[in-house]
Structures are given as C-alpha cells and as structure tokens.
A and B are shown apart, each in its own frame.
Chain A
Amino acid sequence: MKRYISLLLCVGILLSAAGCSTGAGSGAGGDSVIDGSGAVLVAPENPGAIKIASVYAVAVPFITALGLTGQVSAINVKSKFWTDADSALAGAGTVGRGTVDMEALASFAPGVLIHRSNDPATVDAVAGKLGIPVLCITVENYEDINYTLVMMGKYFGREERAQQVCSWLSGKFEMISEIVDLIPPGERVRALMMGGELGRIAGGEMIQSWMIEKAGGICTASGIENNRNWANVGEETIFEWNPDVIFATSSTPLNYTVQALMRDPAWSAMAAIKNQAVYIVPAGIDSWDMPGISSALGTMYMLHCMYPSYFSAEQLQSEIDEYYMFMFGKTFSSEYLGYDLAN
C-alpha cells in the first residue's frame, strides 16, 4: 500500500512539473534554455554571480519574483514602486528606456541582457558586437507568464523559486475558476478593457481580455483579432456592444477620466455608465493589468468588480496583501498603490 501511494505521489509530482514546464529546457541536456524568441541559450555556470541588465520594463516583475534584484546592474523601471519595494533596484543604473544604449551597456558589461522578443536587431547587435547574451522574453498571456518564469528560473538557477511562483499563480487562478463556476450563466456580465483613448480597446488576443474571461466576464472584444495589440474600434462599436462593465487600463496614461466619462451625455445610455461600473484597474504605480505576475491580482480585481457578492472587497484586500508579502516580503497601503476598494 505504501509502495502504491509513493508511486502515485511520484507520478503526481512528475505531472505537476510537466504542467508548469512547457519546453523551457527540454532536450538540451538541462544546461540550455529556449528563450521567448525561440533562441537556445546556454545557462551560465555560476548564475548567481552574473550581472543582469534590461531596458524592458515588463521583465522587472519576473526579476523581482525570482529574487534576482541583487544581481541587477542596470534596469528600466516603469515607476518608483519597484525601487521603493526593493532597495536593490534603487542602486541600479540604466542602459536605456525601451531601446538599448550600446555604449552604456558595454560599460556596465552585464552577464546577460533581458529583452523583449520582437527586436532581433538589438539581439544581433548586443550579442554580435558586444558578446553579451540576450535572453528574450515574451509575455502576452498566462502560458507565456508560466513559460517565462520557468525558463528564467532554469537560466538563473532559481528553479525552485520559479516553481513556487508558478504554483502560487496556478493556485490563484484555480481559486478564481472555482468562484466563477458558482456564478449562474444568467448573472454573467459583459465587459471590456478600454485603452488610453476612448474607442481603443484590448483585442481578443490580449491578456486583458483573457483576464476578463477568467474572471467570469463575457469579453465583448473577444472577436477582435488585432495581433495582440490595442484595437481602435471606435466609440460606435463600443456603443453597439453596450458592456455592463468597462475596465480602463492602468498600464498606459489615459486621456480621459472616469468622472468625465460618467458625465458625458453621449455615453449616458450605456449599461456600464448606468450601472456606475467603470473601473480603472489598479494600481497606478504597479499596473495589475500588465502581462505579468500581478495579472492574478488584476483578474481578482475584475472578479470583485463584476461579482462583488461572490468575491468581496475584504477577500480581495486579503489577496492583495498576500501577493505583496509573497513577492516583496511586505505589504503596501492602498493609498500608496493608488486604489480604493470602497468605490
């Protein structure tokens, strides 16, 4: 019996490992990884010692989550939150914002540059001219998030931590799914994510739309294919959809305000306006709707906004505190993060 249970446990562990790992290092002897652009990189012999640089703000949560901030020599952070949350990042320099300053990068001489996948010119220049390996990451959906965590975990020798984060994420999304399963179909709400301008929305392939669906909403933009970019569908299309809830992104500055939208007579007949259900996804300085680990928070926030009776403000606040404790070892006030669950 004991032998039978042990066998089952082994199979279970193996299956879990397989579920969290989707080709991040398969078949290359364990010392190599396949990055987000499909390139094969050899993991460094002493991964704990190599210096890390990046101009890609999306990489920062992953670096933080894997406990790599002490190895960062140059970074681009979207807001002061990251340097407040982790003092190791405060001392980091910069090699550019979005685009790489080659000479600055050469002077920092990091062991690896973490960069976005769709920029082969930079990859060629950095790797070819400076001999610095470039680890590309693609973070567009939940699968990408998991892949990136495991791949970076393997590269930097933080597999255990990567596994922890993946498990945390999958646990949260499972919890969300369980709650959503309780919501009768007749109570499901129609929602969309608005971008920086009115009429610009997250397309069906973007993580924001996935989050809405995961949180139990019916994403009105699910049919919009726009190559994972914001789609300019125009206000009239949004009027046609007449969503019950509108989320506005916090990943980019908005050229409108929720108050102005609520007061605009043109929008007054929309269900979301009548329901007073227009929400800017928190948090201003650490966007929960950017593709990344905080997407779980964003999804929970959407669940609370759409179905408050199924996921209360108290439950959400508890999850928020747990997330920041898990990621940074401390919590942050809602005032600091810039959200108010009372509204």
Chain B
Amino acid sequence: MIWRIRMDKRTPGKNNKYAYMLVSFAIMLAAGIVAAVCMGKYSVTPLESLRILLGLRDGSSEMTINVVMRLRIPRILASVMVGAALSVSGAVYQGVFRNPLVSPDYLGITSGASVGAAIGILLSLNTAFISLFAFAGGIAAMLLAMSLPVLLRNNSNIMLVMSGVIVGAAMSSVLGFIKYLADPESQLASIIYWTMGSFSYVSSRELLVIAPIVLLPMAVLFGMSWWIDVLSMGENDARALGANVSFVRSLALGCATLLTSASVCIAGTIGWIGLIIPHVGRLLAGPANRRLLPLAALAGGLFMLMADTITRTISVSEMPVGILTGALGVPFYCWLLYKQRETLL
C-alpha cells in the first residue's frame, strides 16, 4: 500500500529559513551535549564538568576527570552518533521504498544484528567481539535480503520488501533458538538486555572504530541525497529520468544499512527513532532529502542524547534506552498520525 503524506500547510522552507532551522538544531545539540556532560550519577558540579571539558583540570581528581572524559564523553558522542545514524538511515529507507512507514530494520538488519550479538553472548565473548558479531549479523542479513531478488531475477522494490520480511522472520527464529540455548540464569538476561538497547557499555575505542563506519556512509548519503528524491518517484519513473536505479538504490541502501548495523553493534536495538525523526524533519523542512537528511541527523542526535541522558540519570538502575524511545515514540507517532489524519489515504 502506498501512503500519501502531504506536507504541513507551510510551504517548503526557503534557503534562509532552512539554514536558520539547521543552525538552531546545531546549537540545541551543542547545548545538549554540554548539559549532558554536566549530568550523571557521579557527584561533580556542572562547572567542574565544563572546566574538565575545556581542559582546565587542575584541582579535579583523576577519578572525576575519568568520569567526565572517559565515561560521559564517549557515551554522549555515541548517543548523538547513533541517533543521527538511525534517523538518516530511516529517512533513506523511507525514500527508497517510497513509504513513510518504513524503518531502518526493514531488510531484517536489526534482527540480523541481534542474532550476531546473541551468538557472541552465547559464546561468552567480550564486548568488542559481541559488537563485531552484531555488525557482521546486520550486514549478513542485508546481503541475504538483497541477494534473494537477484536469485529470483526480480529486482523490484516489492521483491526487496518481501525479502526483508523473510530475512527478518528467519533471523527472529534464529534469535529465539539462541535464547532457548542460552543459560536462563545469566546469558538470556544479557541477550534480552542487549536487544532493548543501551549505551552503558560504549568505550572510547569502540567509538573510534565505529565513527568512520558511521560518518563515511552518512557523507555519501548527504552527497547523493538528491538521487534519493529521484528514486522516490518509483522505479520506472526514476529509470526514465536517467537514474541507474539498481546502482543508486544499492548504494543508498548499502550506506543506510552500514549506518544501522554500526548503530546496533554499539547500542543494541533501539526502535522508533528511524521512524519518527524523518517525519519530524519533513514537517519542518519538507521532503527533499538534501534538506531532510542533515536536519534528521541533528534532530535524531539530539533526541537520542536526551533519551540516553534521562535513562542514565533518572533512576539507580539504568533503563534500556530502547524502552524510553518506544515510550516517547508511540504517543508522538499517534500525535503525528492525528495531525495528518485527513491526508493519509
């Protein structure tokens, strides 16, 4: 079913209005990062946190410096990066599949990454290997989903969607089997916690490894954003317009999948962001991807930063951040649907 979503009554922003929006979000994100650095369960004043951040560390204990620089900063940067990655990935999937209801796990990537991580937990591997397995699982799921249409000699969008459904279902079965094999008193809880999403275990080293895998595909997607608009015209139209649909689609989906896999491998499965933030971006900046993708990146980074900061400060036990994004996402999505109820067909 193809959904039509009209834009808000406001016409797409002209260049200076869009620029103003982008700068505003960038400022909010920067402010959010600074605020997040100052917040946490470890007792350190906001002023001292800021001084440490700015390199003025005399008078601060080594422990305090470690908390700010080695615990909070990597986690904050990871949450911003993952929020941006999932939002951009979601927007790209929605554009390529011409469906605003699509989310980044459409090709079974999240399920595949969950399977990879679960295998790592089952084998009692350390965090780094669990992340690696998660990444590999996501990529494997994507390759499977994209190879089925090639094998069946039908490269249409609908075939790709069906492949994604098949791969996702298959991966969910495998995950269920792994949960069955797991030690119910220890490993099962770890697998379940991982699938709910958390930034608790992000290290600086992981961040450094993952950052290029996020930033490079994101740069590629920003560069080719206009072609995602062309793809959203439909396969025949896009080809008639001159697009090498197979190549452009593969490149776009490949980059989006890398973003999703990288996000899942450091933070587990976090839902709703890839679905909701693109909608917010379209409401603010219109559907053209050259405007949508950068704005979605900033808005997604900000949203995820806020969600993770809440989960790590609000209670003694850290709630998985995926629960909070779901709890915030569901009513927000209902509100979006309510706003657009007359235009959804």
Which A residues lie at the B interface, using CB under 8 A?
57, 97-99, 196-199, 223-224, 226, 229-237, 239-240, 242, 251-257, 260, 264-270
Contact = CB atoms under 8 A, between A and B. Distances in A.
A197 B190 contact: yes
B41 interface: yes
B16 interface: no
B42 A196 contact: no
5 contacts: A223-B316, A232-B193, A233-B316, A265-B70, A269-B66
A18 B95 CA distance: 74
B186 A196 contact: yes
Contact of A240 (B43, B61, B125, B204): B43
B201 interface: yes
Given A198-B201, A231-B317, A256 B127 contact: yes
B183 A199 contact: no
A236 B63 contact: no
B126 A255 contact: yes
A266 B318 contact: no
Contacts of A251: 185-186
Contacts of B124: 253-255
B66 A239 contact: yes
B67 A239 contact: yes
Given A229-B189, A251-B186, A255-B190, 19 more contacts: A97-B183, A197-B190, A197-B201, A226-B317, A231-B316, A234-B41, A234-B318, A235-B71, A236-B67, A240-B41, A240-B43, A252-B187, A253-B124, A253-B186, A265-B66, A265-B70, A266-B66, A267-B66, A269-B61
B98 interface: no
B322 to A, nearest CB: 13
A270 B65 CA distance: 12
B71 A266 contact: yes
B62 interface: yes
A266 B205 CA distance: 11
Nearest to A257: B126
Contact of B63 (A196, A199, A224, A242): A242
Interface of B: 40-43, 61-63, 65-67, 70-72, 121, 124-127, 130, 183-187, 189-190, 193, 198, 200-201, 203-204, 312, 316-318
Contacts of A231: 316-317
Given A239-B63, A239-B71, A267-B66, A252 B185 contact: yes
B312 A236 contact: yes
A98 B182 CA distance: 10
A260 to B, nearest CB: 8
B331 to A, nearest CB: 25
Given A234-B200, A235-B200, A239-B67, A252 B312 contact: no
B60 to A, nearest CB: 11
Nearest to A195: B186
Given A98-B184, A253-B124, A230 B66 contact: no
A232 B66 contact: no
**When A and B form their complex, which 8 residue pairs have the shortest distance between CB atoms, in order from nearest?**
A252-B186, A266-B70, A253-B124, A269-B62, A269-B63, A98-B184, A240-B42, A234-B318
Contacts of A236: 40-42, 67, 71-72, 312
A269 B71 CA distance: 13
Contacts of B204: 266
Contacts of B121: 255
A310 to B, nearest CB: 28
B201 A252 contact: no
A293 B62 CA distance: 41
A98 B183 contact: yes
